[in-house]
Each structure stands twice: as C-alpha cells, then as structure tokens.
Amino acid sequence: MESMWLSRVFFFFTLQFFVSFIIFTLFNKNGNTTLQNGLSAESNSTNEPSLIILLWTYPFGIVFPLNQCPPKYDASQCFFTVDRSRYLSANAVIIHHRDVCSSKNQLPQIPRPPNQYWIWFNMESPTHCPNLQFMDKLINLTMSYRVDSDIFAPYGYLEKSNGNINFTIPQKTKLVAWAVSNWNPRSRRVQYYDELKKYIKVDIYGVRHLHLSRSHHLETISMYKFYFAFENSIHVDYITEKLWVNSFASGTVPVVMGPPRENYERYIPPDSFIHVDDFLSAQDLASYLLSLDKDDEKYQQYFNWRSTYTIPEPEGEWIPQYCRVCKSLREGPTYRTIPSVAAWFK
C-alpha cells in the first residue's frame, strides 16, 4: 500500500513538473513576443508626431477634422488636439481671439510651461477685434491674414502655372451681384451702394434680400458679370473670401472695396479686378460697368490672368490656417513675448 502511495506521489510531481514546464515555455514565448513588440513600437517612435499643438477652442465652435493636413504642409511631425488635458505637454497653444475676447477668464489659467508658444490667431479685421489688450505680454507668435504676421494665413492665394491654362468663362446672363450678411446702413459700403443703385441694378443676396442657397452659392454668382467684393471694414491686407471665393472661384469679375489698389496687387494681377477707388464717383463706376457689359472683348480682358494662374482647390474651412503652424514651429522661431498685439494689429 505504501508502494502504491509513493507511486501516486511520484505521478503527481511528475505531472506537475510537465505542466509547469509547458506553462513556463508558453509564458517565455509570449514574453519574448511582448518584448519584441515593445521594441518595435519604440523603434517606430521616431515616425510619430514630435510636436503637440493644442487648439484652445475650435474657431467660432466650428468643428473640423484635425490631423488631416494636405501633404504640401508637411505636418506629419505635428499632432493637433483640442484636449485641454494635454496643455502641460503641448509645445504650442493656438488661441483664436474671437473665442476668448469676452473675458480674460477664457484664456488658459494654468501657468504656462517653459518655452510653450502661445499663438494668437485671428482672421477678423481690427474693427471687429475687441479687447486686444487682453493679449498684452502673453503672445509669442501671431497668425493672421496680415503678411507681416509670424505665420501668414491669407484667405486665399494664386498659384502660377507652368503652362497655359484653358479657362472657360461661365455663361453670363446677369450683370451685378452682391451677397452681404451684415447690413449696416451707416457703413461705407452700404452708403456707397445707396448712391450706386441710382445708376445700375444690383441683385443683393442675404438677410432681408434674395435667398442664396449655400449649395448653389458659386453657381448662382457665376451667372453675373460682376460681383461686389465689398469688405466690412478697410484695413491693410484685409482681403477676404469675398474676393477669393465669391468672385474668383465663381468665375466673375470682382469690384472691390477694401485696402488701396496697391495692397490688392501684392496678391493678384492688376487686371483681375476693378477697384472703386479708381473712380471719382459711384456714377462713374456704374457707367464703366455698363460700358463693359456692351463690350465683350474688353470685359474678357479681366480673365486674361487665368491663362497663367490658378486658384487652389478648397482644403476645408480652417484647415489651411492650422496646418501652417506645424512648419513654423519646426523651423524653430525665436521665443519672445509680444508686448502689445493691439499696438501692432491696428
């Protein structure tokens, strides 16, 4: 009986040994796999974004896809996020002025980590930028439509083509259009229109005027020979989508009211637009537009530039502006604090 008991004990320990051996073997195999995967992840870490860029807010609350910059911006080394828990590890924080200008409490309240860039972002004119003094001694870089910004983010631009471009002028069945969302009777542009309408018919789209479908926006404007690209205020470099989208993208001739002609000519050909300042009066402008309406050859000269330049395809709202930040940061801008954004942006 004792022999039988010893046999059972021997069998038990032998079985336990084999089970332990199998478990050890499997564990060691899995452990090596885990280690190899870990090394693989570490070896690929150089391909991961090295710069964290925090958007303090989505501009005007408009949500758009992050980390989808077109290749030309070379933004693969940057990771964009709106997760404020990443604040302390962020290399830069983009602060959209109009979303924080109502109160200083809208700005980050946690002390800034060393060498973190605060980037002031704004696409509105100084007329519509209250409380710029909130930014005194806080901002390290500026990003706006102004060409003298640290990060130049224009509303649009032209690209020169290597060869001739065949551009077909859209069929024109109407004369002048103007889409305006902010109708202020005391503004220069509305007062100018009040005088102009005495001499020429203008179709106005917007609140309390003709309805302009968003889905047929460009298609509608393309039927007109001229479009009034009248800015809501006059400031250097403030040339908005009224020119780039409403006029150029729709294939019509812009009649502009904004900064002086020479400012426009920094960015677009001189024969691509008509400036209200070129005329002594609204009546003179109306007479000129009516004369172009009767002279196809002269009218078509305003499209000659399109054989040389193209308008890039839209890249999505806000995406181009933010994608430019990555390149700027990778170039290692000098770290400094701007004493007064208000003194510069006026």
pLDDT of res. 163: 76
Residue 165 in this model has a pLDDT that exceeds 50: yes
Residue 128 in this model has a pLDDT that exceeds 60: yes
DSSP for 85-145? GGGGG-SEEEEEHHHHTT-GGGS--SPPPTTPEEEEEE-S-GGG---GGGGTTT-SEEEES
The lowest-confidence range among 48-57, 220-229, 246-255 is: 48-57
Residue 227 in this model has a pLDDT that exceeds 90: yes
Nearest 5°: phi and psi at 264?
A: -60, -40
pLDDT of res. 36: 27
User: Which residue, chain included where needed, has tokens 């007479």?
Assistant: 287
Q: Rounded to an integer, what is the distance from CA 308 to the centroid of its chain?
A: 25
Alpha-carbon gap, residue 234 to 258, rounded angstroms? 5
Residue 43 in this model has a pLDDT that exceeds 60: no
Bridge partner residues of 227 (DSSP): 177, 254
pLDDT band at 331 (very low <50, low <70, confident <90, very high): very high
User: Which residue, chain included where needed, has tokens 């400012």?
Assistant: 263
Classify each residue of 57-79 as buried b or exposed e, where b means 16 or more C-beta atoms within 10 Å of its C-beta: bebeeeeeebeebeeebebeebb
Residue 324 in this model has a pLDDT that exceeds 50: yes
Asked whether the beta carbons of 310 and 161 are under 8 A apart, the reply is yes
pLDDT band at 139 (very low <50, low <70, confident <90, very high): very high
Give catalytic status of residue 2 as yes or no.
no
Residue 31 in this model has a pLDDT that exceeds 50: no
Alpha-carbon gap, residue 324 to 345, rounded angstroms? 20
Tokens of 260: 């002086």
- Tens-digit pLDDT profile for residues 82-104: 999 999 999 999 999 999 999 99
pLDDT of res. 48: 66
Interval 309-332 mean pLDDT: 89
Q: What is the mean pLDDT of the chain?
A: 88
Query: Pick the residue with more confidence: 32 or 56?
Result: 56
Q: Which positions ≥6 away from 93 have C-beta within 8 Å?
A: 53, 54, 56, 87, 108, 116, 117, 118, 119
Of 270, 236, 39, 268, the closest CA to residue 156 belongs to: 268
Alpha-carbon gap, residue 318 to 59, rounded angstroms? 8
pTM of the model: 0.84
pLDDT of res. 29: 36
Tokens of 183: 């109708």
Distances in Å between the Cα of 215 and the Cα atoms of 240, 247, 288, 311 are 20, 16, 32, 20
Bridge partner residues of 312 (DSSP): none
Q: Among the options 2, 48, 124, 317, which is catalytic?
A: 124
